[in-house]
Amino acid sequence: MELIVLARQRRGDIVSNLLTSLHKAYIRGRAITEARQLEKRYPELQFTETLPLIKNISAERGFLELDDNRQSILYRKFEFGPNGHVVVVSSPMCSPSKRFLSWLNAPNREMYKAIFSRFATFVSPPGDYLHIESYHAANKEIAPIKLHYIYNKDQWPEIQLWNTPVFYFFYDGKLVSQLVGWPEEGREVALTNALKAVKLL
């Protein structure tokens, strides 16, 4: 795509649509530095918001964390501990994900929220936009839980389904079960059983 943009520019073509597509591809591929360079080179195109990236990028498993002040995005390593853990593929743009977070944040769900605060990691699959404002607002609402951006899906081979929401239940780093979706009526019984299976309840 970069080569196509350069070739079209040399011919004198209007390439604003191609540049917008290239910016989305950079975001989807987590090439945030390149996306920001494009923003600086073409300020008139008003690309979607990004933030300075990312310290200490590693080949090890990890995710991207939006800092609380919306000033930068940080790379965080992730390792499974020896006990139970839940990885939740989620997004603040997804209605079923929002239903689950509302359920979890309800006053009578303190036990579940405590479990997910300590023993769960929420990650969103790569997309064309970072939706920074939506992530920031969601993180404030569900604190101390945080939604994170996935950096590289290949680092998470256990996760085969990147739809939202999907709950992956691990014990000692091994996948035990998964739970797909959160319908309007909820799935409290299935969630409770899955948490028990990884000794979190």
**Going from the N-terminus, what domains does the chain have, and what CATH number goes with each?**
2-45 (no CATH), 62-197 (3.40.30.10)
Cβ neighbours for 49, distance < 8 A, ≥ 6 positions apart: 130, 132, 133
Closest alpha carbon to 84 in 167, 199, 201: 199
Asked whether the CA dihedral 67, 33, 93, 42 is positive or negative, the reply is: positive
* In the block, residue with structure tokens 């996306």: 35
Angle, in degrees to the nearest 10, between helices 95-105 and 132-142: 20
pLDDT given for residue 54 in this prediction: 59
Query: Band of the pLDDT at 33, cuts 50, 70, 90?
Result: confident
For residue 183, cis peptide bond before it (omega within 30 degrees of 0):
no
Q: What does pLDDT average to over the chain? A: 91
Listing DSSP states for 120-142 in one string gives EEEEE---S---HHHHHHHHHHH
Q: Confirm if 168 and 159 have CB atoms less than 8 A apart.
A: yes
Has residue 86 got a pLDDT over 80? yes
Once rounded to an integer, what is the mean pLDDT over residues 17-25? 92
